[in-house]
Structure 1
Amino acid sequence: MYSRAVRRGRVARRDAEPVPCLLELALLHPDPDDMAWLVPTSPQEVMTRLLRGVYDEVSASQRRVGAAVAAVERYAGLGPATQAGSGAAEGTAIRVLDGLSRIQAAMDAATEACTTEVLTVQPGGIRPEHELTEGLHRALALRGRGVRMRDLYTHVARHGQGLLNYLELMGGSVEARTLDEVIDRLILFDRTVAFIPANADRTLALELRHPALVEYLVTVFERLWRLAIPLTAPLPDTGIEGISHREQSIAALLAEGHQDAVIAERLGISVRTCRAHIARLSETLGAASRTQLGVRIAQVGLDGPRHPADIGSSVTLPGQQSPTPR
């Protein structure tokens, strides 16, 4: 089956089902353009992976080294001839990682090779303790080599004691900032390799090494970073008596027409918490219905991002006789 994949360039996933070991050994992996097909890992890469494990047990497995080299040389002659260096870059520019173990192994390899900088975006709300613990060994290894790390979270993450403990443990090697909303999960190593999720439950991931794609993601991160607020700094006041920063964010998303579940997901909070904030917002603005709430949000200027010049402007809420400067 592997020989056929090398000759033809890919094989149908259904044809490879009788030999699952090919996926388990990463000899075949999903085609980024069509998940119904599997493409072969280059024989040279297979040789490198096999020999790495063989050398670890060389004292008991000397004969396996020669067998692996001979097998790879045979497979290398099956595919079409390519110019040196041309096929390798194209084959590894986008790699689909199928399964949590494969994703973990690729992340560990990137961590080991990293020497300068790691940039991450962590969506959602308060990060569970087990997630922070799972990534702690990589973070400590990076800190030991002097690698600098910058992390972006949603504002909700500020309330997680686990994150605060993690940052205290890492010391000055990690800098964290927060935003109302962030993009989906992103991890960048040395601005040369990036990892992004490829499905909703994150059992598939893409490993990106194409320079244009990686540079694009670095630009996205840097622009979000400039807009974000350091974790050690307080969130800005909304400038409106009785309305919190989070309620301001919810108001802006309500004005865009989003439903409660969508707002909760984008801000990293539960739907129940989101609805509680909407109820308080309605009470503060004196709105008796969703329609009236939308009108009130527009009247007080909460239907878009507020600028520093707006903080301190006069705003009159329903029931107030005169504006209250903040």
Structure 2
Amino acid sequence: MGLKLSILDQTVIGKQETAVEAFRHTVELAKRAEELGYHRFWVSEHHDTQEVAGSSPEVLISHLLAKTERIRIGSGGVMLQHYSPYKVVENFNVLAALAPGRVDLGIGRAPGGLPRSTRALQQTQPGTPARTLGEKLVELQQHLTGSLPEEHPLYSVRATPQIETPADLFLLGASSSSAELAAELGIPYVFALFINGDEEVAGQVLRTYREQFRPSEGGLSAPHAILAASVVVAETDEEAKRLASDVKSVKIHLESGRTITVKTLEHAEEFGRQTDEKFTIEVKEAKVIHGSSDTVRDQLIELTERYGLQELVLTAPVEKFADRRRGFELLQEAFAAQKV
């Protein structure tokens, strides 16, 4: 089995662009990805930001499915902490009924926005105990597979429409806790190297996932690990280096121990104004695999061999759409040339 390449697109709103144009670019890239032979095309979820337009991946996925024919389309990912597991499964059952065998349900752990947007999304009543992501993910998997236990208070409820081929479930994360949860549930795990750029940590987390993996009923019989990485591909190494030099890693370290990754320093400062916790902001050069198509291809192959992977999800943190599209074209051409 050859290496599968997939794309995560964040519907970036470039300077002097509108959200309308950003969505047109995402649609165009999905169609081009299908033509080029990419395996999956995932879209992200972000809230209360002017930098990206994708606040509702379910709606966008529906449109992308209608504009493509074969490529798998999914979320990278739905921020389950904000939502009812039952409603998320209903949304994705509708999508899977519209395009059987083509829908991926990736679940993310980050808030995807600022503290006030999180409160606006969750609308919890004062004194209501918060459910953990793990609890919600277990219930989501049960709704997805129709396996709620009889003792569950929602046992008689069925997520409709009921379908033969539900969406494939994935958990996205960048820490051992997310890997342990994916292993416990027996579902595929995607390590976000583009968020946590420490390759040593990536290796440790992927080992944890594989060592603790437990086969799931009606699911995976063996672990399926995927790496999600940032790539900047250009005609030359020099041009790629220039484009990659603009990419920064901006992290907010909260007193509670959580680390939040955001797009810009301005976004981090606004997060700080909205949070009740003490915090520090860290800005440094992002971990981006960059170079000509041959250079990046060779680096990606080395990564897959080091971590024992058969699939990569790639995101291109480049502002101009033409550069993002051309980078994915060049990379697929380089992999195709190697097979000849």
TM-score bin (small chain): under 0.3
- Higher relative contact order, structure no. (Cα contacts within 8 Å, ≥ 6 residues apart): 2
TM-score by length of 1: 0.25
Q: Normalized per residue, which structure has more helix?
A: 1
Q: Normalized per residue, which structure has more strand?
A: 2
Larger radius of gyration: 1
TM-score by length of 2: 0.24
